Structure 1
Amino acid sequence: MKANLQEDLRIKDKKNIENTHNTMRNEFTFTLESIYFNENYIPSNSTRATTNFANLARGASRQENLRNTINMINNRFNTLANWDNPNNDRYSVELEIVSVYIDIDGSGKSFPSIEILKTHIIDHKTGKRIEGIVGNNFSSYVRDYDFSVLLSEHTKDENNSSMPANFGELHGNIFKHFVNSDTYKKHFTKPPVICLSVSNNKTYHRTGNHHPVLGFEYQTSDSSLTDQYFKKMGVQARYFMPPNSVAPLTFYFFGELLTDYTNLELISTISTMETFQKIYRPEIYNANSAAASCFKPSLNNQDHSLTKIIYNREERSQLAIEQGKFAEKHFILPNKSVLEQWSANFAI
């Protein structure tokens, strides 16, 4: 009788734990806010100042910066989408900045967890507005905390070559939870594609694989720290150099990049993110010569051209530290035990 009672209590305790985990998971809810990126764009207070699009919308030349950036995106899009487009002016791209807020306890108090871009394609010939890809640029305060605070503190000891325990797991689980949430599925029809620069610490080799829009595929035998970090977000990486580009881009995605998205969708991502990279990493993406079959990107490359859009790279690095500390103070530390327990028990 006593043994049966103890077993009943164990079962009850197990159910209570499972219910607690389910409740915690259900309480991790997301809300979205969006604003369009155009020449009148003004960043919201919750937007990371280091984010590509926010960084451009500052200073006396902000409108000129924004206008020139949009023109670069549209010109690049039309160059790639050149069929039935004799004057290279058939299409334009609209960019929607999507801010994702997370509420971890159902209190209504939320933290700006993720910021991404959604592309929309305007076909001026047919008058249609075509849905593009969501993802593109990727911004996260927690990512700033991981790299600019946690990892920085961990590696102050030159002899410490290891990574912090569970590095990137909380961030990755939050992202996967968002992509699998009802909120994501309600607003977006396809999984996200994130497009970033290749690593300047790795060597990339061109393969014989060629896609009509993505261009030649490159591969590397050694994944970068960013690749490893994004893998914990559930995505895989492939590297392609689009036609008339000078360096490959990194594409992070779920599923099948080459078959899950249309050519116009892929072009909207390429034209947007290549433009940002030309501005922020001109040594690689606005170089005066194209990547060879064996390519090691370098931020010390002097043979490159500058766009008319100037930014302060050093300031951007400092802001990443400040924003990482902001996440630590307002999100990580106040919710440390809840976040750790949730992440440890997370399962899709």
Structure 2
Amino acid sequence: MTKAFTFTLKSIVFDENYNPSGNTRITTNFANLARGEKRQENLRNALIMIDNRFNSLANWDNPTSDRYGVELEIISVELDVEGKGNTFPAIEILKTHVLDKKTGQRIEGIVGNNFSSYVRDYDFSVLLPEYNQDREKFTIPENYGDLHGNLFRHFIGSDTYKENFNKAPVICLSVSSKNVYRQTGNRHPVLGIEYEQDSSSLTDLYFNKMGLKARYFMPPNSVAPFAFYHTGDLVNDYSNLELISTISTMETFQKIYRPEIYNANSPAGLCFQPSLNHQDHSFTQIVYDREERSRLAIEQGKFTEQHFIKPYQTILEQWSANYPL
């Protein structure tokens, strides 16, 4: 076994002509939009939504609200466990770039944003349900999330990451429908109103093992807070334009995928509990099949078990057990 697992990166532009590659996670936000009869219309409308939201937040020196455009790049991270050239598609993330149409400058944005992982599919859609199948009380297996967390931390600390990205990732996800969120009184000019939750969600605990902590903000003119997972200082490590690129991108995806929460007709108040059963919401003009996405997550989790977990089980367990905390 090699001393350190090796990573290779592949990238593809996410635009209205995007077609998912054969080994992409087809449950990802971007891959879902690029399927079906209305694929190009879906993609075009989503990109317009992202640009419009960006300009509404970056409203200084932008009187006609069209100064900026957001460019997205899908980064696929492949892992070679044994150093023999056999790779497994471990992670997919998004990289944002901001085009300033006034100056012609192309500004580097944030890497992360959306986060997709085959091993995460396995953990949540295969391992966890099977472990709890005959249990009266929901229980988390011992060392749950350790392998995934160590693989992610290994990637972030790798030369491959450092050679390609200048800053640590920020991952922006939906808040948990099982938790209650309360406003703290803190307000950021771009991130908006900060919330805190009563207890950590399973996703929080899982992402903590990836070396990430969460803060919860509802940006100006949004209707619900988002969970921003990061490593350092979220509000000081990134510029306003960088943060806006993440907000505009991920809010657009969440409006499409979770309209009950993020396209609700009234905003979250001082105390907020998200619900996918909330009826007072609007739909976007973008076609999306949420039930299919859940089914595909299970299929891809089983694919991971067959082609990654079982073939490399001994190597992975030994490597993860010895990975430094």
Aligning the two structures, in what range does the TM-score lie when normalised by the shorter sequence?
A: over 0.9
Q: Counterparts of 2:125 and 2:75 in 1: how far apart (Å)?
A: 23
State the distance in 2 between where 1:227 and 1:284 align: 19
How far off is 1:164 after superposition? 1.1
4+ aligned runs moved over 2 Å, structure 1: 23-26
Q: Does 1:209 align with 2:209?
A: no
Identity value in percent: 70
Distance in 1 between residues matched to 2:3 and 2:155, nearest whole Å: 11
Paired position in structure 2 for 1:17: none
Q: 2:225 matched to which residue of 1?
A: 248
Q: Which residue of 1 aligns with 2:6?
A: 29
Greater Cα shift, 113-122 or 160-169: 160-169
1:39: Cα distance to partner? 0.4
CA distance in 1: counterparts of 2:83 and 2:313, whole angstroms: 16
Name 1:14's counterpart in structure 2.
none
Q: Give 1:56-75 correspondences, 5 Å limit.
A: 56-75=33-52
| RMSD over equivalenced CA pairs, Å | 0.8
What residue number does 2:299 align with? Answer: 322
Q: Partners of 2:139 and 2:25 in 1: how far apart?
A: 28
Alignment-derived partner of residue 149 in structure 1: 126
* Partner secondary structure for residue 258 of structure 1: coil
Aligned ranges 1:199-238 → 2 under 5 Å:
199-238=176-215
Q: Provide the TM-score with structure 2 as the length reference.
A: 0.99
Q: How many residues are aligned here?
A: 325
Q: Secondary structure at the match of 1:25?
A: coil
Counterpart of 2:320? Answer: 343
CA distance in 1, matches of 2:135, 2:46: 40
Q: Once the two structures are superposed, what CA deviation does each residue of 1:86-109 show, in whole Å capped at 9, x if it has no partner? A: 000000000000000000111010
Deviation of 1:159 (Å): 1.1
Alignment of 1:267-278 (within 5 A): 267-278=244-255
Structure 2: give runs of 5+ residues left out of the alignment: none
1:194 to partner: Cα distance: 0.2
Note the C-alpha offset of 1:24.
Answer: 3.5
Question: TM-score normalized by structure 1?
Answer: 0.92
Larger Rg belongs to: 1
Select 1:291's aligned residue among 250, 260, 268. 268
SS of aligned partner of 1:289:
coil
Equivalences for 1:139-218 in 2 at 5 Å?
139-218=116-195
Cα shift readout 1:247-269 (whole Å, capped 9, x = no counterpart)? 00000001100000000000000
Preserved contact between residue 24 and residue 342 of structure 1 (Cα < 8 Å): no
Q: Is the 8 A contact 1:154 1:160 kept in 2?
A: no
Shift of 1:155: 1.3
Aligned mates of 1:347, 1:55 — CA distance in 2: 36
Uncovered stretches (5+) of structure 1, i.e. residues with no partner: 1-22
Distance in 2 (alpha carbons) for counterparts of 1:234 and 1:293:
29
Task: Report if aligned partners of 1:247, 1:284 keep a CA contact under 8 Å in 2.
Answer: yes
What do residues 38-61 of structure 1 show as CA deviations (whole Å, max 9, x unaligned)? 000000111111100000000110
How far off its partner does 1:158 sit? Answer: 3.9
SS in 2 for 1:33: strand
Q: 1:74: how far off?
A: 0.1
**2:13, 2:72 within 8 Å by CA — same for their partners in 1?**
yes
Aligned with 2:283 (options 286, 306, 315): 306
The answer on whether the counterparts of 2:2 and 2:83 sit within 8 Å (CA) in structure 1 is: no
Which position in structure 2 is the counterpart of 1:8? Answer: none
The code of the aligned residue for 2:279 comes to: Q
How far does residue 78 in structure 1 lie from its aligned partner after superposition?
Answer: 0.2
1:69 alignment partner AA:
A
1:64-103 to 2 correspondence within 5 Å?
Answer: 64-103=41-80
Greater helix proportion: 1
Distance in 2 between residues matched to 1:312 and 1:129, nearest whole Å: 34
Q: C-alpha separation between the residues in 2 aligned to 1:272 and 1:25?
A: 37
Equivalents in 1 of 2:23, 2:141: separation in Å?
A: 27
Aligned partners of 2:2 and 2:211: how far apart in 1?
21
